[in-house]
Structure 1
Amino acid sequence: MPAEIRKVARVILLDPDDRILLMHGYEPDNPDITWWFTPGGGLEGDETREEAAQRELAEETGITDVELGPVLWQRICSFPFDGRRWDQDEWYYLARTTQTDTDLSGLTGLEQRSVSGLRWWTCSELSMARETVYPTRLAGLLRTLLDEGPPRTPVVLAPEIA
């Protein structure tokens, strides 16, 4: 494991119809390489993961009317992106909102070069998706969440190393 691992807060944001909001990303130098992923990002300064989750959600989606819930999942991942390797310790928070209009104006420079939009997905749409989605197995994880509710303690997902 690398010495410097980035602490990340991600958000499983559900609307009143249990749709999940995902971001459509791409490699800045190769727009043909695309994937869907959950909003969120690294902690800044001395903020908590909860604070980072809410800040990132507001910046990346414009959604601020959010009820932040428990940590659902945790995972370690490592992947190449924008010319460097990212080693991350990710915590996924459940959140609910009635605010479904999104706004990308708060994206950082890197995000502006690597995010093409947002989309609300139903669980069945996600399970039929042929595109790459992170974390992998998100459709099944979401189905379990919707059927059984949040886990008592966070589920540790298998590490993903790309």
Structure 2
Amino acid sequence: MTRDGGHIDRRAARVLLLDPAGRVLMLHGWDPARPSHTYWFTVGGGVEPGESLLDAAVREAFEETGLRFDPAALEGPVRTDTVTFPFDGAWYSQEQSFFVARALETVIDLSRLNEVEQGCIDEARWWSAADLDATDERFYPPDLPSLLRSLLPSPLPSPSPLPEVA
């Protein structure tokens, strides 16, 4: 991570944590500099010096949920992009890679959040793509419903009717 005045460049690992029903875990938070700007976002965060993206994904998943994953169990990255956003009075340019982790356990423990996170994250919730499509609440990334659908198995097509035998 480098900081230039009010601008911070960083690399991040995000985790699309899916439950057995294909719902993604989202955390609810806000920008400390703009407390009324609330939003839902995926698990994950900045890569620490000397840490691989995969190791950062595993660490962040544990810190933000209490769930432990074997790095070999994560899929991806399934997407990498760069976003620019304000947070706590600074502008971030974040290159982020998304991994998929599949959770059998759906009870989330937020007790390991760091001090900054404790001050601006208040809830965790499992969301389906349909839930995200239907909500008026802000969430990131904004195209998450289509990303989720691309990761989930397609429903089986309806069987074709058998031809009639004369």
> SS in structure 2 opposite 1:45?
coil
- Counterpart residue identity of residue 129, structure 2: C
- CA distance in structure 1 between the partners assigned to 2:153 and 2:107 by the alignment: 26
Once the two structures are superposed, residues 68-127 of structure 1 have per-residue CA deviations (whole angstroms, 9 ceiling, x without a partner) of 111111110111111111110000001111011111111111101111110001221111
Q: Which runs of 5+ in 2 are unaligned?
A: 155-166
Identity of aligned residues (%): 41
TM-superposed CA distance for 1:147, in Å, is 4.3
Indicate yes or no: 2:62 matched with 1:58.
yes
- Counterpart residue identity of residue 11, structure 1: V
Indicate yes or no: 2:51 matched with 1:20.
no
TM-superposed CA distance for 1:45, in Å, is 2.0
- CA distance in structure 1 between the partners assigned to 2:17 and 2:40 by the alignment: 14
Judge conservation of contact 2:33–2:87 (CA < 8 Å) in 1. Answer: no
TM-score (structure 2 length as normaliser):
0.83
Once the two structures are superposed, residues 16-46 of structure 1 have per-residue CA deviations (whole angstroms, 9 ceiling, x without a partner) of 1111100101122433210110000111120
Tell me what 1:89 maps to. Answer: 95
- 1:65-80, aligned counterparts within 5 Å? 65=69, 67-80=73-86
TM-score (structure 1 length as normaliser):
0.84
Which stretch has the larger CA shift, 54-63 or 3-12? 3-12
Judge conservation of contact 1:23–1:119 (CA < 8 Å) in 2. Answer: yes
Q: Which runs of 5+ in 1 are unaligned?
A: 149-162
- CA distance in structure 1 between the partners assigned to 2:97 and 2:132 by the alignment: 21
Pairs aligned (count): 147
Indicate yes or no: 2:141 matched with 1:135.
yes
Cα RMSD, aligned residues only: 1.7
